[in-house]
Amino acid sequence: MIVRYWQPFQEIETIKQQLDNIFEDLTPTTTDWIPAVDLVDAGDDYVLEVVLPGIKADDINIEASRKHIAISGERTATEVGDDQQILRRERRYGSFQRVVNLPVAVDHEQVKADYSNGILTIHVPKAAEVHNQVVKVNVADTAAE
């Protein structure tokens, strides 16, 4: 008699991986992966943080327009030697592109970016016409007439 232990969580994980593989094969994509982003309204500007671990700053391309920021680039996989075998690879490699639409017009000529510890931080100042401007309003005295 053979005793076999049932491991339901391992079987669920196997089914999940098989379904992921099926849908990856059926879904046509132009990029290999999409980085996660956070967009924060910081008053006079927007701060966009993009998670790009393992990418060199030279491999990142940023394009800014009045209504969106486009980030693209490529992450290459590390090479393994002939005496090594990859048992599991869950990180995505290859080209990526992410376009973030901005809620209001921005001053796209003043955009600044910093890249540190795998986080790309982009400071996008709002356009001058978007800032809250205080205007003195004159009140006419119509009761005196």
Mean pLDDT of 62-76: 90
Classify residue 10 as left (phi > 0), alpha (psi -120 to 50) or beta: alpha
- Tell which wins on pLDDT, 137 or 14: 14
Q: Alpha-carbon dihedral of residues 13, 19, 20, 26, nearest 10 degrees?
A: 170
How many Cβ atoms from other residues are within 10 Å of residue 75's Cβ?
A: 20
Q: pLDDT-derived band of residue 73, with 50, 70 and 90 as boundaries?
A: very high
Sequence ranges of the domains in the chain: 30-77+93-130
pLDDT of residue 11: 84
- Tell which wins on pLDDT, 6 or 104: 104
> What does the alpha-carbon distance between residue 40 and residue 123 come to, in Å, rounded to a whole number?
10
Tokens 């990418």 belong to residue? 55
Q: Which CATH number applies to 30-77+93-130: 3.10.200.10, 2.60.40.790, 3.10.20.30, 3.40.50.12240?
A: 2.60.40.790
Q: What order of strands is seen across the sheet that includes strand 68-75?
A: 60-64, 68-75, 94-101
Question: At 123, phi and psi to the nearest 5?
Answer: -100, 120
pLDDT tens-digit series, residues 40-52: 999 889 999 999 9
What is the overall mean pLDDT for the chain? 82
